[in-house]
A and B are shown apart, each in its own frame.
Chain A
Amino acid sequence: MNPLQRLGAWTLTVLRGWGHAAIFFVDLLRALPASLRRFGLVITQVHAIGNRSLLIILASGLAVGFVLALQMYYALVTYGAAESLGLIVNLSLVRELGPVVTALLFAGRAGTSLTAEIGLMKAGEQIAAMELMAIDPRQRVLAPRFIGGIISMPLLAILFSTVGILGAWVVAVGLIGIDAGNFWSIQQNGVDVWRDVGNGVVKSAVFGVICTAVALYQGYETEATPEGVAYATTRTVVISSLAVLGMDFVLTALMFSTPR
Chain B
Amino acid sequence: MSRRTTEILVGLFVMLGLIALVFVSLKAANLTSFSIGSATYPLSARFDNIGGLKARAPVRSAGVVVGRITGISLDPKSFQGVVTMEIERGYQFPKDTSAKILTAGLLGDQYIGLEPGGEVDNLAPGTTITQTQSAVVLENLIGQFLFNKAAEAGSGQKP
Contacts and interface: CB of A to CB of B under 8 A. Distances in A.
A196 interface: yes
B64 interface: no
A225 interface: no
A188 B7 contact: no
Interface string B15-37: 01110110111011111111000
Contact of B10 (A43, A158, A191, A196): A43
Interface of B is mostly: helix
A contacts with B: majority SS: helix
Interface residues of B, number: 26
Nearest to A94: B24
Contact of B13 (A94, A155, A187): A155
Nearest to A148: B10
Contacts of A192: 29-30
Interface string B54-82: 10001000000000000000000000000
A156 B28 CA distance: 18
A46 B15 CA distance: 13
B14 interface: yes
Contacts of B38: none
Contact of B27 (A44, A155, A184, A189): A184
A94 B9 CA distance: 25
Interface of A: 40, 43-44, 46-47, 50-51, 54, 86, 90, 94, 151-152, 154-156, 158-159, 161-163, 165, 184, 187-189, 191-193, 196-197, 201, 260
